[in-house]
Amino acid sequence: MEKLRPWIGPAVVSLILLILGAVTQGLFSQPDPGQVILILCNVFFIAGVFTAGIGALTWISRKGGFDMIRYGLKTFFSLFSNKLREEREKSYHDYIKARKEEKWTWKWQFAVLGGAMIVISLILMAFVRTPAA
């Protein structure tokens, strides 16, 4: 069960995106099987892009892509809060050092699950029949 725990969050997010996409595109009221496959292709692709995007953003954050923004916002909001003012690092350099010591990893499960959904949408696209002109 411990090995499945990191996959629960990405799976729930993906499932919610898939259900929302299916409902908004009218999947459950579609009588034509060709249209059902087309809608499924669209829904899997959109949900896959969003889910993989979450994984990509966590990777960028882990590599330090948002450190300056986080430090700036933390410094700004510390002006209004005594608790944040006490916790705040003295300089940006101290903040970066403290950030490097944190033990968290990027959420690669989001990227893997999003990539899998994109592959599923590409497979479904092979079965989509285009209407004759």
Domain boundaries of the chain, sorted by first residue: 1-60, 64-103
Q: Which of 56, 42, 91, 52 is nearest to 71 (CA)?
A: 91
The answer on pLDDT for 132 being more than 60 is no
Q: Which two structure tokens, joined as six digits, stand for 123?
A: 């497979």
Average pLDDT over residues 70-94: 75
Q: Which of 46, 44, 45, 26 is nearest to 36 (CA)?
A: 26
The answer on pLDDT for 61 being more than 90 is no
pLDDT tens readout for residues 87-128: 666 777 887 887 777 777 778 899 999 999 999 999 998 877
CB 67 within 8 A of CB 37: no
Q: Which residue type, as a one-letter code, is found at position 86?
A: E
Q: What is the predicted pLDDT for the residue at 73? A: 85
Query: Residue 45: helix, strand or coil by DSSP?
Result: helix
pTM equals 0.77
pLDDT tens readout for residues 26-59: 888 888 888 888 899 999 999 999 999 999 998 8
Q: What is the predicted pLDDT for the residue at 75? A: 81
Cα–Cα distance for residue pair 89/38, rounded to 1 Å: 52
